[in-house]
A and B are shown apart, each in its own frame.
Chain A
Amino acid sequence: MNSHRRFVLRGLLLAATLGLTAHPVRAADPGITSNEITIGLFAPMSGPLTAFGLDALQAAKMWYEETNKNGGIHGRKIKVVIEDDKCNPNEAVAVVKKLITVDKVFFVHGGSCTAAAVAAQEFVTREKVPHVMLNASGDGAVIPATRYVFGAFAGTQRTVGATLAEFAVKELKAKKIAVIAHDDEYGVANTATLKAVATALGAQVVATEMISPRITDVTAPLLNVRAANADVIVSTAYPGPAVLIAQKYGEFGMMKTPLAQAIQGIPVPSAFAKNVGNDAALANFYYGSPLNDLTDGPKQQKWIAMYKQYYPDRTPSGFMAYGLPSAMAVTRALEKAGKDLTRETFIDALETVEFETGVIAAPVAFGKSRRDGSRGSLFVKFDGKTHTLMPGVYLWDGKAGM
């Protein structure tokens, strides 16, 4: 081979080597520019379940605006695009698709209703777009953990069951517990952790009444619970059946046995009391709450005041504060991810987030195999008029009942 050919061959070899080892030119993820991050926010903003989402979404937006006032994150301001999912799974999928494919957001932050939030999981996973839930539990999408979905900032149903059991045993000194839960996957999940924690603490579950979410007559389940002679009755029922249970519990004069109700059955305590229609039935009644205080307690005043500054014409509902922990986790993760921000580095950063929010009872924490943000609850005694905070925060260890 003559020297000229050898020279050309060496040159080609060098060029090929440089081409293979050179840093690839990567297209930036959508939704990021040098000075802006675009976040797709969604929640029910209309329809019968607006109460669950409107104030929570506005609280998250408020947090982002506060962040922007303080200079943004690594020089980038947060811009939000808002959509309404009406708490409906089909609508949620539609708005998530629109936010990702049309509005080209960096990630989606939303979902106040579990069914709607979970419905979006397949699409965001396929598109590799992070989804941070707003205030939905999103059990089906966070346990087991998958890479792109983070949620349960108010706790999953497993947390609900575990903390109810711990409260019943440690605070109410129960040795025998009667459980009323729904026969859907959430009821099965919360009952499993409830039983596991109760057993671990030395208590016995003496009755388990699994009822349909559409039940209209709870006579039989309450008769069975009465016959079981438990020390504490624990209910994880949804609002309608929860009212029926409290009514029937009062009608049967069972108030000597404490009744502890999970938060999902008592979204607005005053409305719950009005619907039960018998304050005597609530003489020995408790409910769980993921917040760190009563909704209008001293620890919540800071957030209520901030909300009123941003939305002076609106009285925040009890769900307002639920929108803050997820937004706080987002801004922390964006800070940790640094200037060289991609969807994957954002997820990696979210996995390392662990902090006290000053809003909810338990710290928010994620991990490589953890996607449920909060695992704690406190409890409130409620007699129909007065709320009394019970001492202690109750936590699920993430293992019992799994």
Chain B
Amino acid sequence: MSPLLLQGIAGGIVSGCVYALIALSLVIVYKSSDVINFAGGELVMIGGYLGMFALLWLGLPYLLIFPFGALVIFVVGALFDRVVLTKVAGRSVHGQSVLVAMIIATVGLSYMLKGIVRVIPYTEEVRRLPPISSGTPIFVGPVVLQHQDIAIVLAAIAIMAALWAFFSFTMAGKALRATSQNPRAAALVGIPVRTMSMTAWGLAAALAGVSGILLAPKLLITPDMGVIVILALAAAIIGGFVSLPGCVAGGILLGVVQNMIGVYVSSRAISLAPFLVIMVVLLLRPQGLFAGRAVAKKV
């Protein structure tokens, strides 16, 4: 196999893991409230800034900036659901879709977060977090692997594994799954649906924030770094938008395809890659790669 191809795949897996995490965040929100979170990118951005703040100003050890950032953004996401979305959903007007109003609320959140960041003087200077791990690159055959990239992949795998365990083995995780499948039935069996919705939003926000901290050593932390959400959206669509494993596969697939297009077609086409992959997937398997035929209908 050509070294170019192998290096491209390795690089694509690293980027893809981050896209997958952000896509997971989008899908968790979608499964819990049928809303596409257009503030997902800004939550990633806030995560990056919080990580920088924790490291440089609070002087926290590197490993602690992850739980710190996750906790703060969990609160942001949960509060947004409780304070804004609950009210928006409660004020449904006959004949008008509540979902549109909720989506617009997420757009508003995205503008608000970006605006807040822009007025804080601390954020004027463009920065990057130091690498999570550094050292001499590791060579696997012709492929160069940076410690930073390995750390990102391992962190992403750990987070995905923790999520899987949470949803599979904990009462809270099962309650969240039940609520997303059928809120009314969940309420009937005593699951506090409103609390579950708030938890889902908090969890999704925390996931996005942690992705931002993982990204921050690789990208410059700027108010516009949330633009990466477009790639995560593509990953979620490829996976089927209802499947968590689908997001992971979609993210990694997208990362690899992006690099392959850049290497074998043109660097100019890299930005087209997500849309090309979406189109191919929608043409060949419109429900996404991992979404099954039957979908549980909410009553």
Residue numbers of A with Cβ under 8 A of B are: 47-48, 50-51, 183, 209-212, 214-217, 219-221, 223-224, 227, 239-240, 243-244, 247, 251-253, 271, 274-275, 277
Residues facing A in B252-299 (CB within 8 A) are 255, 258-263, 266-268, 270-271
Q: Is the CB of A239 within 8 A of B268?
A: no
CA–CA, A252 and B144, complex, Å: 7
Q: Is the CB of B126 within 8 A of A271?
A: yes
Q: Is the CB of A211 within 8 A of B263?
A: no
Q: Known: A211-B270, A253-B144. Contact between A219 and B262, CB under 8 A? A: yes
4 cross-chain pairs, A with B, having the tightest CB-CB distances, nearest first = A220-B262, A219-B11, A209-B267, A221-B267
Q: Mark B121-160, 1 if CB is under 8 A from A, else 0.
A: 0011111101100000100000010100000000000000
Residue numbers of B with Cβ under 8 A of A are: 4, 7-8, 11-12, 15, 118, 123-128, 130-131, 137, 144, 146, 217-220, 222-224, 227-228, 231, 255, 258-263, 266-268, 270-271
Minimum C-beta distance from A263 to chain B (A): 16
Q: Is the CB of A251 within 8 A of B124?
A: no
Q: Known: A243-B220, A271-B125, A275-B220. Contact between A216 and B267, CB under 8 A? A: no
A50: which of B124, B217, B266, B270 is its contact (CB, 8 Å)? B124
* Chain A residues closer than 8 Å to B15, beta-carbon distance: 216-217, 219
Chain A, interface SS category: helix
CA–CA, A252 and B261, complex, Å: 19
Q: Is the CB of A223 within 8 A of B268?
A: no
Q: Is the CB of A47 within 8 A of B118?
A: yes
Q: Is the CB of B263 within 8 A of A216?
A: no
Q: Which residue of B lies closest to A183 (CB)?
A: B268
Minimum C-beta distance from A328 to chain B (A): 30
Q: Is the CB of B262 within 8 A of A251?
A: no
Minimum C-beta distance from A273 to chain B (A): 11
Q: Which residue of B lies closest to A272 (CB)?
A: B126
Q: Is the CB of A239 within 8 A of B267?
A: no
Q: Is the CB of B219 within 8 A of A277?
A: no
* Chain B residues closer than 8 Å to A50, beta-carbon distance: 124
Q: Is the CB of B220 within 8 A of A212?
A: no
Q: Known: A240-B219, A277-B130. Contact between A211 and B267, CB under 8 A? A: yes
Minimum C-beta distance from A281 to chain B (A): 12
CA–CA, A252 and B146, complex, Å: 9
Q: Is the CB of B220 within 8 A of A223?
A: no
CA–CA, A251 and B217, complex, Å: 13
CA–CA, A401 and B298, complex, Å: 63
